[in-house]
Amino acid sequence: MRTLVTGGAGFIGSNYVHHLLDRTDDEVVTFDALTYAGSRDNLAGALADERHEFVEGDVRDEDLVADLVADVDAVVHFAAESHVDRSIDGAAPFVSTNVDGTRALLDAARETDLERFLQVSTDEVYGQTVDGAFAETDPLDPRNPYAATKAGADHLALSYERTYGVPVVVTRSSNNFGPRQHPEKLIPKFITRAAAGQSLPLYGDGSNVREWTYVADNCRAVDLVLREGVAGEVYNVGSGEERTNLEVTEAILDAVGASRDLVEFVEDRPGHDQRYALETEKIRELGWAPEYTFEDGLERTVEHYSGTR
């Protein structure tokens, strides 16, 4: 199979490109605009692989996208503006890349006999929940601009399956963590700041809950859905490893060997979702289960950021 990986120079995308090259015989075309969040360094080792090609470009460039999509069997679409705080500062690039960029890829897919279009999405599209967990059939209720654009992209992708027969599958995963995540995100931000003896700005009272999935586990889930998922279906991906942000922060401080005094409670994120949680029976029936506990994943992540892995 020849697979186009959009956003493959970012955090999850680069982990997925390495997964494809290390664990499959696939040919891989990585397509990425190299925004502040993407880097060729994330593809170290992959760039020299003869089964891999890197194309620098924007998913909103319709002519380039049409050429690239026509030349592959599958598209795995990670490219997105991904940081909630930035979307609160200004939603325009989120609407443009996440919604219209996805539309451009889907229109290109309409013109081909693509075998698969995998839309990579997030638990945030369901909105927050105090108890219980979201199933794939639950209505979407995004509560921040980033999540709203991801929900729009999901709806568009699924509508192209129903309207034009584009073979779309969607994965919605919980928070990922692991190597090569941008240090704007909670875990790498707090690891690098704690290691430097800097304060850790915890939003609100630190009681917000996220479900943490190690990135390698999500990459295996994406790959399974790509190959075994049913067109038109959505698959949640979550480890079940729920932690409050304060628990995550204390685990990081312990792993780095830094003082708890570095915790600084700061003004809350506007519209801060209290808790996300997913039901994952559907992907587990396909044969997926997480391999990493939160603690195992955190140990590997701390090693990555301290240069020992």
Binding mask 158-197 for ligand NAD (x = CB under 6 A): ---------------x-xx-----x---------------
Note whether 3 binds ligand TDX by CB under 6 A.
no
Contact residue for ligand TDX among 27, 32, 58, 124 (CB under 6 A): 124
Is 22 an active-site residue?
A: no
DSSP state of 63: H
Shortest distance, position 125 Cβ to ligand TDX, whole Å:
8
Asked if 54 contacts 14 with a C-beta cutoff of 8 angstroms, the reply is no
**Cα gap 286→57, rounded to integer Å:** 34
Of 124, 161, 241, 273, which residue is the catalytic one? 124
Q: Is residue 14 a contact residue for ligand TDX (CB under 6 A)?
A: no
What is the footprint of ligand NAD within residues 62-121 (CB under 6 A)?
78-82, 97, 101, 120
User: Residue 216 binds what, of ligand TDX, ligand NAD, none (CB under 5 to 8 Å, by partner type)?
Assistant: none
Q: What is the identity of the amino acid at 242?
A: E
Give the span between the Cα atoms of 61 and 79, in whole angstroms.
Answer: 13
User: Counting contacts by CB under 6 A, is residue 11 touching ligand NAD?
Assistant: yes
CB crowding 231-270: b at 16 or more within 10 Å, else e: eeebbbbbbbbbbbbbebbbbbbebbebeeebbeeeeeee
Site for ligand TDX in 56-115 (CB under 6 A): 82-84
Q: Which ranges of the chain does DSSP label H, i.e. alpha helix?
A: 11-23, 62-70, 84-89, 92-94, 102-110, 145-164, 186-195, 215-228, 245-256, 281-286, 294-305
- Enumerate helices (H) and strands (E) in the chain, giving the number of each: 11, 12
Under the rule (CB under 6 A), what is the footprint of ligand NAD? 6-7, 9-13, 32-35, 37-38, 58-60, 78-82, 97, 101, 120, 122, 150, 173, 175-176, 182
Under the rule (CB under 6 A), what is the footprint of ligand TDX? 82-84, 122, 124, 175, 185-186, 189, 201-203, 208, 210, 245, 269
